[in-house]
Structure 1
Amino acid sequence: MSIINERDFPLLPSQVAKRRLVMKHGATTRNANRSRVPGSGATLNDLPDELILQVLSYLPGIDVDRFQISTLLSISLANRRLYRIVIGKVYTTYNSHFYEPYLFLRTMVSNPLLAEMVQSVDISYGKWAHHERVRYKPTAQDKKIIKEGMRTLAMPGWKNLATNCNENLMGIETLHDAVLMHIPNIASLIVRDDTRSNHRCPSWADLISKVSSGTISGRMHGFEHLQSLNVDIRSSNLSQLAPLFRLQSLRFLTLREIIEYGQRKERKVSELQRLIPPACNNLEELNLEHTFYSMGVLGVLLASPRQLKSFRYDVTLDHLDEPHTSTEVGDANLSTVLHQQEGSVENLEIFCDAQVEEKTRGRIHLHDSLKGFTSLQCLTCPLSTLTSGSSFVERLPPSLLNFRTTIRRCTGDQECLGALEHVAAHYRTHVPLLKEIRIVAPQSTMDTHDWKRLIMSFSETSITFVVEKEEEYGGFSDDWRDDSSDSSRSSDEVDLYSDVEEDD
């Protein structure tokens, strides 16, 4: 009798695909599995694809996720099956740190089947990006391959593009633009550039916007599979990247240090609204990191998704000039502009430091009622951006599951801790689904604040109450995105129930 069955151990995806193929050709699974001599031991070849990839990641000197290309390519030569598995993994992602762009472009042009495997692209520009790399000098045969590849796209100006790619001193941006043209299934794009220069529209952004809008004709794909875009370019501004907001396939967008300089406030908002009209995209997650926008500009961005599910706004003034922040706050506040997405937002993360609060005159707050945010499950923000010290639990939506906050230095956050006692007393009425409250506090607050009263308040509730010491860099830690309540606590967390018997 069989001990292991498919009900307890369902087939992995690769095994399911293999079984379908076998049944399609009229063979039985039992006969199809007789690939080795009876009585012989199992080999690597007998494992499903997923387990082979897992085994490869543990071998000495190999890390599949860090692109150990030469080693992986050597393994791929062992047999046809390993070639199929390894090559599929190798070409899933293009990272400019590991690949020579000209050679990768040549491969994409020469082998369209490999080009179709590429789904993720990670590109770094800048003065010091890959400065140690010796640039490849193309041969006459290489140049012919690239030229024919560009001809196949039938785009206007393809001859000039091919010439620029084949020049000995070709620009790295030109090569990466050409790579993007030849990978039709790209789903994720990360672009970094720490160059501080005159603001200009990146060529890759111009390419995506023109092709997706039909401005450029030809046989090139239209980036119809691009779902995730992460942009960290200090030499660009929001108006130059605005066409990306109209890309219908896009679901996740992160903009880091993308600023918005320009004309008078009224004119700037009006012009941006023309570029990014309301309900023009299908974004589900919008992250604005290490930047600052006036409330008018922020309102335009938040009005653009049809149904936004997650919004993260990490505000800083470190890289902005004083004249561009002191006069552009506006009369509205963050609560007002967020209400445009109140029916769909499930995750909301807001962070700003003491300097931001002072310069923006406290406009970055959520003091208004959040009752209308009927889908909100996770709220992350400093305490004083949510309350001025009085109760706030009655302004929270009943759908809330997790509340996370950080106690910032030189702010009124610590004085607002008392408001959490009101949450413990009235959560059943206002937030009956609340499961966890997590606080990140600096060492000074950990040492000086009397936590006993709060601990006692929550010990009689069903809410998990956790306090942990702030990391040196401050702010929210990335692991807060994991909502699992079963995760182990760090050694720096306060053991809130060591002296209190937990309520059954």
Structure 2
Amino acid sequence: MHLDEDFPPLPSKRNSNGGNSVDSKRANPVLNAVKPKWNNRAFIMDLPTELLLLVLENFDPDQFRQTLVSLSQTNRRFHGLVMEKLYSKYASSIGSPYLFLRTMVTTPRAAEKVKTLAWSYGSRESDSDDESYGRCYHHNSKVREKYNPTVSDRGLIKNRPKAVDIPGWKKFATKCNNYCDEQEEILFAAVLMQTANIETLEIEDGPTPYQVPRWMDLIRHTASGNSFGRIHSFKHLRSVRIIRGFMHLADISPLFRLQSMRTLSLEEVMETAHDAKWNIPPCTSLIEELYLYDCLILPETLAGLVSCCRKLTVFEYVSVDANVNTQVYRLGHALQRHSHALKSLLLADGFFSVSQHYSAFWLSDSLRHYEKLTRVAVPLSALVDKTIPRSCTLADRLPACLRRLELNVGSEEPASECEPVIKHLANSSSTYLPLLEEVTISIDSIPIHFKLDWKRLRDAFSASGVAFNFRYR
């Protein structure tokens, strides 16, 4: 089918009177019989609001921010449609934090639209070659120059803390107006004060001149019920992600007290001070998903983190320390509190060393009682002691509701000890694990050092309707 039969002819194919040229008529006889009225043209403003909103859904604010800005400046209708998407998420790497704060102060309607804040603060002189720097922000962001506030800007920023009557508002406003790169966290706290509908925080924590970052101090006042001026109560904040935290875990304890919190993710957090005390009582926090990646946490503190949650549905812990003789028992005892709710459990590859079979054996006995656990990703040594023949049964110790099982085999574990365990799992999964859909074995070794009859194992799992995968890492 020709394009001329589907779409109106281009302006170059029409004569000056608005009709069709002779060449156009000869090329398409249909146009001789029907002469459309080109005066009745459609404009984008004629489209219904619902259709325009569908079009705007395809514009990622991180990639098309300038396009959205241009659209918002077209007219009032586009400004109203684009505002929610344009201001729904802000990352400190894509624009001046001071200018964003000024916008929040002068435009309350824009502040109401902010749902997500991604912020990086603190000095980073030693991190210029670190690939992880800025990983939760826009990858193509350019290094920005510091904005020098005008006299008018300083007055606007100064009046806002005064209006909400926060303690020490004058000193707070002065620090905002005279911030330096190492003190951008003060701007983050000021922005948080304006964004009452904030739902998600993504923070790359850096060293600051304060003992505890100001933004956490705001949450602490709210969580404790103490008055801190007339700022909002963070009633919509549900998810917080902290990367490379310089804070102690005790400093972030207010997040566990906040009634709206449901998801907390900590990455590269090191807690090595033995005098640190976890002061959140058991079963008081409403956090349901707890992610701890590449962290080093004391056993008693780790148990306290898990115990203080009332109903954990997801728990993932990737430890950087494989020599933790006491963590196994403490963590297992704390997880027992959530046997009625836990749906996904992941423990680090290096969490259990080969010599810790005796202390890891508790995990295999306890998982059978978990009522909703559908995904388990742990080292094989955490589930069964392969040195004891009677312990080579694995399927009868896993929860009957399990659907996905991921097992990691350490580099020093011999294939002769692992093979009976995996074979038993393949042959008995249909009896003990009727809902099992997928099993994945990851081997921290090279194929020449760890050989199994993978084809026979795959056939055994297939006979039970289970997908089987293995990989060498």
TM > 0.5:
yes
Partner of 1:501: none
- In 2 relative to 1, CA 211–413 (structure 1 residues): closer, same or farther, beyond 3 Å? farther
- Superposed, 1:333-348 pairs within 5 Å as 333-348=330-345
Partner of 1:172: 184
Instruction: Name which of 88, 105, 112 aligns with 2:108.
Output: 112
Amino acid corresponding to residue 214 of structure 1 in structure 2: G
Q: Which digits, 9 at most, give the CA deviation of each residue in 1:66-114, with x for residues without a partner?
A: 2543332112223333322222111001101112111111110111111
- In 2 relative to 1, CA 383–172 (structure 1 residues): closer, same or farther, beyond 3 Å? same
Instruction: Name which of 418, 421, 426 aligns with 2:420.
Output: 418
Q: Structure 2 regions of 5+ residues with no counterpart?
A: 1-37, 125-133, 135-140, 387-391
Partner of 1:384: 381
Amino acid corresponding to residue 336 of structure 1 in structure 2: H
- In 2 relative to 1, CA 460–92 (structure 1 residues): closer, same or farther, beyond 3 Å? same
2:105 equivalent to 1:101: no
Partner of 1:13: none
- In 2 relative to 1, CA 381–110 (structure 1 residues): closer, same or farther, beyond 3 Å? same
Instruction: Name which of 148, 159, 175 aligns with 1:148.
Output: 159
- Superposed, 1:105-504 pairs within 5 Å as 105-128=101-124, 132-167=143-178, 169=180, 171-193=183-205, 195=207, 200-263=211-274, 268=276, 271-272=277-278, 275-317=279-321, 329=326, 332-353=329-350, 357=353, 363=359, 366-389=363-386, 390-411=392-413, 415-441=417-443, 444-445=446-447, 448-468=451-471, 470=473
1:292 aligns to what SS in structure 2?
strand
What is the alpha-carbon distance in structure 2 between the residues aligned to residue 362 and residue 216 of structure 1?
51
Two-structure CA RMSD over aligned residues (Å) = 3.0
2:329 aligns to what SS in structure 1?
coil
- In 2 relative to 1, CA 405–155 (structure 1 residues): closer, same or farther, beyond 3 Å? same
What is the alpha-carbon distance in structure 1 between the residues aligned to residue 298 and residue 431 of structure 2?
36
Which of 206-215 and 44-53 deviates more? 44-53
- In 2 relative to 1, CA 458–88 (structure 1 residues): closer, same or farther, beyond 3 Å? same
What is the alpha-carbon distance in structure 2 between the residues aligned to residue 112 and residue 451 of structure 1?
62
Q: Structure 1 regions of 5+ residues with no counterpart?
A: 1-36, 58-63, 319-324, 471-504
How many equivalent pairs are there? 411
Question: Is 2:341–2:371's contact at 8 Å kept on the other side of the alignment?
Answer: yes
Question: Is 1:387–1:416's contact at 8 Å kept on the other side of the alignment?
Answer: no
Q: Which digits, 9 at most, give the CA deviation of each residue in 1:313-350, with x for residues without a partner?
A: 111139xxxxxx77x83682543332121111011111
What is the alpha-carbon distance in structure 1 between the residues aligned to residue 272 and residue 339 of structure 2?
28
**TM-score, length basis structure 1:** 0.74
- In 2 relative to 1, CA 74–149 (structure 1 residues): closer, same or farther, beyond 3 Å? same
What is the alpha-carbon distance in structure 2 between the residues aligned to residue 347 and residue 160 of structure 1?
47
**TM-score, length basis structure 2:** 0.79
1:155 aligns to what SS in structure 2?
coil
What is the alpha-carbon distance in structure 2 between the residues aligned to residue 359 and residue 248 of structure 1?
42
- In 2 relative to 1, CA 85–247 (structure 1 residues): closer, same or farther, beyond 3 Å? same
What is the alpha-carbon distance in structure 2 between the residues aligned to residue 111 and residue 287 of structure 1?
35
Question: Is 2:257–2:285's contact at 8 Å kept on the other side of the alignment?
Answer: yes
Amino acid corresponding to residue 280 of structure 2 in structure 1: I
Amino acid corresponding to residue 72 of structure 2 in structure 1: S
- In 2 relative to 1, CA 450–120 (structure 1 residues): closer, same or farther, beyond 3 Å? same
What is the alpha-carbon distance in structure 2 between the residues aligned to residue 419 and residue 335 of structure 1?
22
2:364 aligns to what SS in structure 1?
coil
- In 2 relative to 1, CA 424–39 (structure 1 residues): closer, same or farther, beyond 3 Å? farther
Residue 359 of structure 1 deviates from its aligned partner by 9.0
Which of 137-146 and 328-337 deviates more? 328-337
Which of 345-354 and 154-163 deviates more? 345-354
Question: Is 1:150–1:161's contact at 8 Å kept on the other side of the alignment?
Answer: yes
Residue 236 of structure 1 deviates from its aligned partner by 1.6
Question: Is 1:383–1:413's contact at 8 Å kept on the other side of the alignment?
Answer: no
What is the alpha-carbon distance in structure 1 between the residues aligned to residue 43 and residue 91 of structure 2?
36
What is the alpha-carbon distance in structure 2 between the residues aligned to residue 280 and residue 117 of structure 1?
31
- In 2 relative to 1, CA 406–50 (structure 1 residues): closer, same or farther, beyond 3 Å? farther
Partner of 2:85: 89
What is the alpha-carbon distance in structure 2 between the residues aligned to residue 367 and residue 201 of structure 1?
40
What is the alpha-carbon distance in structure 1 between the residues aligned to residue 315 and residue 206 of structure 2?
25
Question: Is 2:118–2:203's contact at 8 Å kept on the other side of the alignment?
Answer: yes
- In 2 relative to 1, CA 363–224 (structure 1 residues): closer, same or farther, beyond 3 Å? farther
Amino acid corresponding to residue 213 of structure 1 in structure 2: S
What is the alpha-carbon distance in structure 1 between the residues aligned to residue 210 and residue 380 of structure 2?
36
